[in-house]
């Protein structure tokens, strides 16, 4: 795999993981009964975006490492899928 391919795949993995991690631990203003005037009731109280960005980076790096090992070490490609998944 080339460097540009790794960067592009990591970028897609990072955004996918971000959307999976964003809802973790979110409490809305309505949950805490602390609604700020002019905001919606479902607005997050403390979104902790920096923590979630760092967690996304860590999880994405692990997923990317697993993908790299699968492709480079074990030689798994899209052409290998019929042999991995029976009946396809």
pLDDT digits (tens, 9 = 90+) for 30-84: 888 888 888 888 888 889 999 999 999 999 999 999 999 999 998 888 777 676 6
Report the distance separating Cα 51 and Cα 67, nearest Å: 24
Report the distance separating Cα 55 and Cα 66, nearest Å: 17
Q: Where are the chain's structural domains?
A: 3-34+41-84
What's residue 87's pLDDT? 67
Confidence of residue 19 (pLDDT cuts 50, 70, 90): very high
Q: Return the residue matching tokens 């790299």.
A: 68
What 3-state class would DSSP assign to 41?
A: coil
pTM: 0.79
């Amino acid at each position: 795999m080339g460097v540009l391919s790794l960067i592009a795949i990591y970028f897609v993995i990072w955004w996918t993981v971000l959307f999976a991690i964003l809802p973790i631990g979110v409490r809305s203003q309505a949950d805490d009964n602390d609604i700020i005037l002019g905001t919606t009731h479902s607005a997050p109280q403390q979104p902790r975006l920096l923590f979630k960005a760092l967690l996304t980076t860590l999880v994405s790096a692990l997923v990317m490492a697993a993908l790299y090992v699968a492709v480079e070490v074990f030689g798994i490609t899209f052409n290998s899928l019929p042999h991995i998944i029976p009946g396809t």
